[in-house]
Structure 1
Amino acid sequence: AAAAAPKPEEEGDRTVYVANLDWTVDEAQLHRIFGEVDDLMEVRLVRDFLKRSKGYAYIDYKSRQRVEEAVKKFNGFEVNKRAMKVAPSLPTKPLFEERTVFVKNIGAEACEADVKAAFAQAGEVVGVRMPPAGEGPDAGHKGYAFVDFAAAEAVEAALARTDKVMLGGQEVVVARSIPMKDHRHQTAATRKDLPQRANQRLIVQGRHDREDPVKLSQQHQTTVYVKNLAFGVTEEMLREHFASCGAVQQVLICRHNSGRSRGYGFVEFERADAAQGALLMTDSVLQEREIVVSRSQRAITQKKPTAGQDEAPTGPDGRDKGKGKGKDKGKDK
């Protein structure tokens, strides 16, 4: 005999329902979050036909124990300042139609009467639905049908048949019928950590572009970043070290306010191919230390003076030359 159809509430034994997600939350982020609970099997973010998130998802685990653990841990957990709603998944309708079977691989020559006759021995057939392949009386059918019985017991009998059911010269496949889902027009909510009246997609895309190391390095193709510098290395030493790669336009070693080197700097070349060649200088030795060279994600910039003040001159050691310890007391207000 065929196995009994699973009860709707059994889905909650292994599946978590997650709602109130904003539009930027994707499968990877949900996997990182819910992966903190062991035995995660699958993440299913529900999307519309344009691949936009609908704001809810289903998370599958191996056991009910993991489901309860995930609900307890993540219900109310904030993602982008929006609290998730997490609960065991409970379908609002049966997983299968109680008195209907789905039949596929029907031959082109078979008609509704043939289908009805083939399943009459299982029980009283009250209707057969065969979707047409097109318009007009000669369009034919799509090769599948839904068979409606008067009683649920007839479905079990149809599934339990061991003999081959042939329709239109082809052996058909019989399975339980899954009801059509309600396609609600729903999209994910906005992010609470961004301005609500602004175009959030442009804001997020701008952030990604500014943080993408590949795009940033493409903007500054003539500049390389050099780290692991010995504290005694000067700009002139750094310039001479990279002179074999091509014409150097400018060099900057980043320093503390005291003038002491921070151990890293930048070299800007006149040509992009020279900067590309400079990448081969990584692991080369400068002042008894192996330096590391990579593409720069920013241009060389000098520290700007404070507004309303002239830039303080620097001495040979990089220290600022102050204008005196006292303050002018005779300034006009």
Structure 2
Amino acid sequence: MGEANNRTVFVGNLSWNTTSEELRDFMASQGEIVSSEVQCHADSGRSKGWGLVQYSTPEEATAAIELLNNADLGGRSVHLRFDRTTIETSGGFAVFVGNLPWSVTDLDLTALFAKFNPFDAHVKTNMTGRSRGFGILRFHSPEEGREAIEAMNGFEIEGRHIQVREDREGEVRGGGGGGGGGRRAAAGGGSGAPAEGAATEAAHTSPAPAAAARKEPSGCTVFVGNLAWTTTTEDLTEHFSTMNGMVSAEVQATAAGRSKGWGLATFSTPEQATAACELMAETSLHDRRLTVRLDKK
């Protein structure tokens, strides 16, 4: 899986109040810590809700993940896994696998594609460890990757036809620390976002940076407006999880981490996006009637 020599552990779902020192103390029981840092926004100094801890040996990092994953820190069940920054910048031919069932794990994805010999397979998760419905495979050569694409695109698993294609750089990643993000502040003035209209639409006159970086075909992205301030990316993902072909969903946030009151859901095809608009129009989430339409780029 490409993690045998990894000494760095990603710790997600941290309380906003958890400090680097508290994180170090929490992780120190499993070995010698070289560094421990809660990641913060450069402009505000506010925690991003995740951190990185480096141990002196890979064995210590492995033990920490096995023993401390889902343990309580600051009143939150934290999610631990190997940091994937080194792996994801190590090259190889990357293949995107979308529309995965929520139950599929890294091991499942590895087994599914084993005969094509990927050297790494990873299902993307949010900071609580929940699948985001897609994964990335890495192959030693383009030939191996394209063989997997040709053979497995459209393959059915648990009632879902997976989408397998060459990965497009920078698409639908979000978050920090190697793909763990998606969580944002639930605090902030008011109990709900403004009604669909002035503030929400004005904020979306041009794509957000994360959306602009994605290169999915036109018509695959759905705008979801009138979200409550408390609605998280995970909430939005779960709300749309019954829709065929959903690749990802993300609540859009300001630089300070506060919700803008709207989000984007991305689908594998324009037809699936259109169907989602028709089926999800005027559904409610957190007592707010949603506005759902194709994104206007």
Structures share a fold, TM > 0.5?
no
Q: Highest CA radius of gyration, 1 or 2?
A: 1
What is the TM-score of this pair, normalised by structure 2? 0.30
Question: What is the TM-score normalised by the length of structure 1?
Answer: 0.27
Q: Which has the higher strand share?
A: 2
